[in-house]
Amino acid sequence: MTYPGPSVEGEITHMLAEDADIAEHGVIVTRHPHGVTLHGCVNSEELRDLIMERVRRAYPNLVVDSDIELARLDPPAGEEEL
């Protein structure tokens, strides 16, 4: 394990947006003493797995934790009356 570099949050943010297979802007990166945690919500398990795989491969010496939720695509339970 390695202490994360000073710009790791920015590097990962760029990577997730600019990787043609991912193109994800909705993931926020926060650091902890031995790595980073990715937070957000994506709409497929396949995309979540791909994000984690790419980040862990790019930063093999960091602990990369996932707090990425999967979007719920059910109809809404009710309506909002304005």
In the complex, the residues that contact another protein under the rule CB under 8 A are 20, 23, 25-26, 28, 40-41, 43-44, 46-47, 71-82
| Least distance to another protein, CB of residue 33, Å | 21
Phi, psi of 40 (to 5 degrees): 150, -165
Q: Cα dihedral sign for 18, 24, 28, 29? A: negative
CA distance 41 to 28: 10
| Least distance to another protein, CB of residue 53, Å | 14
Cβ closest to another protein, residue 3 vs residue 49: 49
Amino acid at 62: L
| Least distance to another protein, CB of residue 26, Å | 4
Cβ closest to another protein, residue 1 vs residue 80: 80
The answer to whether 35 and 59 are in contact (CB under 8 A) is yes
